[in-house]
Structure 1
């Protein structure tokens, strides 16, 4: 075991550290005690909806001939626009996470929302490739702080035995926004508005969400005027983390780089995003060019795929919480992840034999379901090992995942150009499957009981 990792086997009064005492259970809602934590999770979930709505809508807009002609874009430039976000999003993860650890979620998350909402509006005002790339890069930096911040506040506002479920609810918000984005955007573009006005409206909504989050949130239960002692005690029960006073160091890079488990988590997230990001970038193009699907039907199909992910997300939280209670922290986090990625591999390989567009959508929906079912386990793992630097630790893993996501939009055109001789995209699906193979192998090696100190 690395000197920078420590394994936690502590328990209290003979109970597992992942259980809440009967006394505190009896004081949960329905008996006595406030429920402010639910409002906090709700506000964070709403933030995640806007996060993904603004992020995913660009895939529907980028396939428009009007978009390309207005900005005089080539297909290669369009690929760069789709991937530019992921590069800056990846590199901004650790610094943005540390800023939230250092200055607090109440200050930083509304600021992040306002910046990315402004960038969404600027994307609609772009007149050429250079301005568009600049807006997308800044957009990625701003969005980089959202999920690390959310993971950190979940750790502070949710009892340990239900962190997976809380993570699934917030992640559900992101997937709901992502699933709604293709259908809503295609509908607005087809019948009501131009692409510039759609981006302007999405951007304005974000400012209202930022104000709502700032109003309702406080850093800890103890600081919230509406949170009573019973709820504070319930949230703290079973949490064995102890935090020293003062701000966290910037950022804990050496412990992260020396942690074998964290490198495995980085490889896991990199591999997952190699396979998953196709569903939110090139899928509309694939349906249009290969399956000859009408754009409106293509928007519906993309939404179906992403809604399958929503169902998986909601299942994943209770699954990881149950697995921890059943198998312990080590395998309770690891085994569900490996199982999800095995299912995704099988679904992608089946695409090599499917001719029907709807059969393909069924297989892609299985990929989305299995992938998103694993996400709450990933979030909970970061909260398990992160301690005081949870946002920065989350950002480190998410950074590598999004480097995988940034790579895929550029790899797909290369694979199609040099290896796909008949235009069926089979070679691309083999690439996506290989990403999940890496993720499965890494999932079997992670150990959530070893904290990054």
Structure 2
């Protein structure tokens, strides 16, 4: 497949410090937008009590932002290939301010209002599809796994939300965390516009967006990575949005205690993401993924018996957090190795969408199962089976073939 492309005209050459600065700013932008994206999750139990929501409605409330944040990555990734991260990071950040202010000031008095705000709050989740091609273009192939892994630490923005949102609401009122987040997004948008620069040798495609997306969909690596990321990052997203409700229902923890434990889960997954990328720069990403998925299978099976939190339950959750973070980093190391340079954004959009959608479905299933049976065992067994299927794909297909364009 041939693609018409041009080189980006970026003032100045590539200095030794520029890649590090760009990586740092991209990671901060990812974290800030993910902070906004995750604002509803820590408040789910509060809204459930105040609005008398069912278990399924509670799951829907936290899952809706994930849908837009996932599907929106497809066009946003392709647009980043065309316009670059210097334009797209400020644009996504400014757009996210609107639903943040709406939810904080007006849209939290009914389930319908929250769902509307949550739908548009998903824009913040598309920042991931901006950062991967942006960072990828600044680093040589042998360092991209680690660089994209470091960028992936921005998913720790969900931990910021978990640690601060409930405390701020209890101390200062519902508006406070939303107003603070909106202010931080505005500051970042200005800084990004002034400081961010696209890599001087970035390849800019000139073919239409639909053609580029179609080209990405014809790549085998797009579908392979999408499935793997749906399990790895999807599992992380599912736990990060649903873990507070799970801990409250299964173990009777308070809202604040559950949110703090969720933050610990998120923090470990965040720290392990660059480890997954770093390992993938040294050994095959498929081997790193195999180990990570094996741990997820074991952890989910152990937790399906709802063991005591001290120590077995905590160990199972922390092991899964480490594995999901490692697997997420390894997946995009795989993308960096096998996706064509001028299609990284488009491939990232599709793969990122799969990861987000992988996080959308489990909370709904878990909520529905718990509402019917008052048990999470079936949902966790299903997670183990899905991870086992992904492990088989990794070992029997992805690890045995190089990427080719489908006929």
Q: TM-score w.r.t. structure 2 length?
A: 0.87
SS class of match (1:268): helix
Does 2:131 match 1:150? Answer: yes
Q: In structure 1, what is the Cα distance between the partners aligned to 2:62 and 2:317?
A: 20
Does 2:25 match 1:43? Answer: yes
Residue 182 (structure 1) aligned to one of 162, 172, 196: 162
Q: In structure 2, what is the Cα distance between the partners aligned to 1:144 and 1:424?
A: 30
Deviation per CA, 1:30-65, whole angstroms, max 9, x where unpaired?
xx963111110010011121122222232111111x
Deviation per CA, 1:198-245, whole angstroms, max 9, x where unpaired?
1221122111111111111112236xxxxxxxxxxxxx9xxxxxx586
Q: In structure 2, what is the Cα distance between the partners aligned to 1:344 and 1:151?
A: 25
Q: In structure 2, what is the Cα distance between the partners aligned to 1:174 and 1:119?
A: 19
Using the TM superposition, give the Cα deviation of residue 161 of structure 1 relative to its aligned residue in structure 2, in angstroms.
0.9
Q: In structure 1, what is the Cα distance between the partners aligned to 2:246 and 2:209?
A: 45
Using the TM superposition, give the Cα deviation of residue 451 of structure 1 relative to its aligned residue in structure 2, in angstroms.
5.7
Does 2:221 match 1:258? Answer: no
Q: In structure 2, what is the Cα distance between the partners aligned to 1:33 and 1:84?
A: 42
Structure 2, unpaired ranges of 5+:
3-13
How many residues are paired up? 389
**Which residue is 2:269 aligned to?**
309
Between structure 1 and structure 2, the one with the greater Rg is 1
Using the TM superposition, give the Cα deviation of residue 187 of structure 1 relative to its aligned residue in structure 2, in angstroms.
2.7
Q: In structure 2, what is the Cα distance between the partners aligned to 1:273 and 1:174?
A: 10
Q: In structure 2, what is the Cα distance between the partners aligned to 1:258 and 1:246?
A: 18
SS class of match (1:282): helix
Q: 1:98 to 1:59 in 2, by over 3 A?
A: same
SS class of match (1:383): helix
**Which residue is 1:207 aligned to?**
186
Q: 1:209 to 1:247 in 2, by over 3 A?
A: farther
Q: 1:413 to 1:153 in 2, by over 3 A?
A: same
Does 2:362 match 1:411? Answer: no
Say whether the 8 Å CA contact 2:164–2:177 is kept in structure 1.
no
Residue 373 (structure 1) aligned to one of 321, 326, 330: 326
Q: In structure 2, what is the Cα distance between the partners aligned to 1:358 and 1:295?
A: 19
**Which residue is 2:6 aligned to?**
none
SS class of match (1:281): helix
Using the TM superposition, give the Cα deviation of residue 112 of structure 1 relative to its aligned residue in structure 2, in angstroms.
0.5
Does 2:333 match 1:351? Answer: no
Residue 175 (structure 2) aligned to one of 184, 190, 196: 196
SS class of match (1:339): helix
Using the TM superposition, give the Cα deviation of residue 73 of structure 1 relative to its aligned residue in structure 2, in angstroms.
4.3
Give the stretch that moved more between structures: 36-45 or 261-270. Answer: 261-270
Say whether the 8 Å CA contact 2:77–2:348 is kept in structure 1.
yes
SS class of match (2:79): helix
Using the TM superposition, give the Cα deviation of residue 367 of structure 1 relative to its aligned residue in structure 2, in angstroms.
0.5
Residue 271 (structure 1) aligned to one of 204, 222, 231: 231
Using the TM superposition, give the Cα deviation of residue 373 of structure 1 relative to its aligned residue in structure 2, in angstroms.
0.9
**Which residue is 1:440 aligned to?**
391
After superposition, where does 1:265-304 map in structure 2 within 5 Å? 265-273=225-233, 275-304=235-264
Q: 1:57 to 1:138 in 2, by over 3 A?
A: closer
**Which residue is 2:63 aligned to?**
83
Deviation per CA, 1:305-361, whole angstroms, max 9, x where unpaired?
1122123123212111111xxxxxxxx121111111101111111113453223322
Does 2:272 match 1:319? Answer: no
Q: 1:221 to 1:260 in 2, by over 3 A?
A: closer
Say whether the 8 Å CA contact 2:82–2:205 is kept in structure 1.
no
Q: TM-score w.r.t. structure 1 length?
A: 0.79
Using the TM superposition, give the Cα deviation of residue 257 of structure 1 relative to its aligned residue in structure 2, in angstroms.
3.6
User: What root-mean-square deviation, in Å, do the aligned CA atoms of Structure 1 and Structure 2 show?
Assistant: 2.5
Q: In structure 1, what is the Cα distance between the partners aligned to 2:200 and 2:234?
A: 38
